Structure 1
Amino acid sequence: MESLKVGELTIHWLNGGVTHMDGGAMFGVVPKPLWSKKYAVNELNQIELRTDPLFFRYQGKNVLIESGIGKGKLNEKQKRNYGVHEESSIEASLEKLGMTPADIDIILMTHMHFDHACGLTRYEGEKLTAVFPNAVVYTSKVEWDEMREPNIRSRNTYWKENWESISHQVRTFDDELEVLPGLRMVHTGGHSDGHSIIVLEHEGETFIHMADIMPTHAHKNPLWVLAYDDYPMTSIKAKDKWINQAIENEYWFLFYHDAVYRALKWNRDGEIIDEVPRMLTGSPSEGGHL
């Protein structure tokens, strides 16, 4: 289990499972000869995308960012289509930290697409129940409204199985919310209409989780946006603002999907000046192949 420690804050990456998605879709109009130099691709043109939640204790609260792909939520066709070779083992990850899912106080959901939200619920027999029964789940109001009433495009990724049994735990916000002192969620739109990013300021350091408007380190270029983005120009605008701000001030970038880095910092020349690599056996390296 990789971690990033700054002062009294330690961020842990839990095992939330994995997907393998089409590389072309993940890089939109960017030609493959360009993006494949930045991120590993297999013979099926798929790239590895982890779905690993971030956990940390902050201000006396146990906080989770995203919830993983879940366990027992996908049928065999879905596993094949989404390249799910490994499901979540969040409970085992938390156990290594001396905790259980019942100990989670806060879950920050940047958006509620299935690869982020499946881990919120689980089957107990035929009934779906909350995996984190004592947590308050934060997401933007726009995201929550669309999840419950998806349109013809978004209904493929907003599933009632992921929200009906936890609806009483959800709290929403409009533009920006300070969840705890120094910990903010900021609505950006772009990837989905309700997409948000997370910013944490602690002991002179700033951490930014840009979620799916920048799912991997290879998406640093503001113009490299996903074909999955509902509003690509909104993504580009948000990326241009936040990436430049983060690099200028040497923020830590935190990732949920990246199979190469858990976190990193760039300087103004585009050089990586600090990093937390993903250390699991068989992890792809930048520019290599799965």
Structure 2
Amino acid sequence: MSVDNVSQLDELVPSRYAVQVGDIEVLVISDGVLPITSSTLATNARSAELSSWLDDMFLPRDVVDWPLNVVVVRTGGRTILVDAGLGVEFPDFPRAGQTVHRLEAAGIDPGSVTDVVLTHLHMDHIGGLLTDGLKARLRPDLRVHLATAEAEFWEKPDFSQTVMPRPIPDVLRRTATQFLNDYRGQLRPFETEYEVAPGVLISRTGGHTPGHSIVRLESRGDQLTFAGDAVFAVGFDNPEWQNGFEHDPAEATRVRVELLRELAATGGALVATHLPFPSVCHVATAGDVFRCVPATWDF
């Protein structure tokens, strides 16, 4: 079958993957990929060690494609969008910002979304909500759940411990400011944790940003955690390596190790923003480090 014929039936490369967590329906959606300087993955690692890891993973040493995943949760008559991808306002990143189109491809009308949960306010997590034409399609009573500490941080953000390409902090600051201005009336801030719907719990972890949060799903004994940016692909083999986007690298390391140990102990499934799509995996221990065990695709 030719590529053209395949594309008429469905995507040649799938961009959505369904998971059932008890009675909770979960859809992992790829927002695309975002090129990032490889050194950003491990700012405290020796260059030779990072290069060796990249070689072992068959990844380029200069720039890697960083996956972007968002999640749609359906339960109890609620449709909850967890993060919103990059959006289309960044022409330098043409292969990301696909969330809106892929929601539609999955049969999800943006107007059906009752709640948005944001792990944090970096541009690759909120940009989709700033896309021209989308805001007009969202419900006027949309609830946007965000840690209070996150909203407060972006009033006067501190980048002193980050290691980002020079233009990025200004773009992050501008994007977060625009988001807070546009959605302030719909924000539902929480302090430590908040149950959005039965079995859908947001918990603030801090670390990556002061208000960074994860989403825990639990139903009929099944568990899945959307970890946002608490866990990166390199963090299984090297959980102590720090990411250049972490605003408190030491705390982010503590959060990452604690979360991976918890998931290894409970056996709960893991999804994270920047793990290779569809990202669904389990965590196993391997001495002092961890292994990502990909879930078997269920067709």
Alignment TM class, shorter chain as reference: 0.7 to 0.9
2:79 aligns to what SS in structure 1? Answer: strand
**2:67, 2:277 within 8 Å by CA — same for their partners in 1?**
no
Equivalence map 1:4-83=2 (5 Å): 4-30=19-45, 31-37=49-55, 39-42=57-60, 45-71=62-88, 73-74=89-90, 76=91, 79=92
Give the aligned residue type for 1:26: L
Q: Percent of aligned positions with the same letter in both sequences? A: 19
Alpha-carbon separation, structure 1, partners of 2:273 and 2:186: 22
Matching of residue 99 in structure 1 with residue 117 in structure 2 = no
Alpha-carbon separation, structure 1, partners of 2:186 and 2:116: 10
In the TM superposition, residue 194 of structure 1 has moved relative to its aligned partner by 1.5
**Pair 253,37 (structure 1): closer, same or farther in 2 beyond 3 Å:** farther
Give the aligned residue type for 2:19: L
Alpha-carbon separation, structure 2, partners of 1:39 and 1:119: 30
In the TM superposition, residue 207 of structure 1 has moved relative to its aligned partner by 1.1
**1:129, 1:165 within 8 Å by CA — same for their partners in 2?**
no
2:166 equivalent in structure 1: none
2:129 equivalent in structure 1: 120
Matching of residue 137 in structure 1 with residue 144 in structure 2 = yes
**Pair 251,168 (structure 1): closer, same or farther in 2 beyond 3 Å:** same
Alpha-carbon separation, structure 1, partners of 2:159 and 2:292: 41
1:288 equivalent in structure 2: none
Alpha-carbon separation, structure 2, partners of 1:18 and 1:131: 25
In the TM superposition, residue 261 of structure 1 has moved relative to its aligned partner by 4.6
Alpha-carbon separation, structure 1, partners of 2:159 and 2:201: 31
Give the aligned residue type for 1:107: V
Equivalence map 1:164-183=2 (5 Å): 164-183=181-200
Give the aligned residue type for 2:149: V
C-alpha RMSD of the superposition: 2.5
**2:216, 2:224 within 8 Å by CA — same for their partners in 1?**
yes
2:157 equivalent in structure 1: 150
**Pair 236,186 (structure 1): closer, same or farther in 2 beyond 3 Å:** same
1:234 equivalent in structure 2: 251
In the TM superposition, residue 161 of structure 1 has moved relative to its aligned partner by 2.8
Which runs of no fewer than 5 residues in structure 2 stay unpaired? 1-15, 161-168
Alpha-carbon separation, structure 2, partners of 1:172 and 1:91: 24
Q: Structure 1 length normalisation: TM-score?
A: 0.81
**1:211, 1:255 within 8 Å by CA — same for their partners in 2?**
yes
**2:119, 2:228 within 8 Å by CA — same for their partners in 1?**
yes
Give the aligned residue type for 1:230: H
**Pair 13,59 (structure 1): closer, same or farther in 2 beyond 3 Å:** same
**2:17, 2:278 within 8 Å by CA — same for their partners in 1?**
no
Which runs of no fewer than 5 residues in structure 1 stay unpaired? 280-290
**Number of residue pairs aligned between Structure 1 and Structure 2:** 265
1:282 equivalent in structure 2: none
Alpha-carbon separation, structure 1, partners of 2:242 and 2:219: 29
Q: Structure 2 length normalisation: TM-score?
A: 0.79
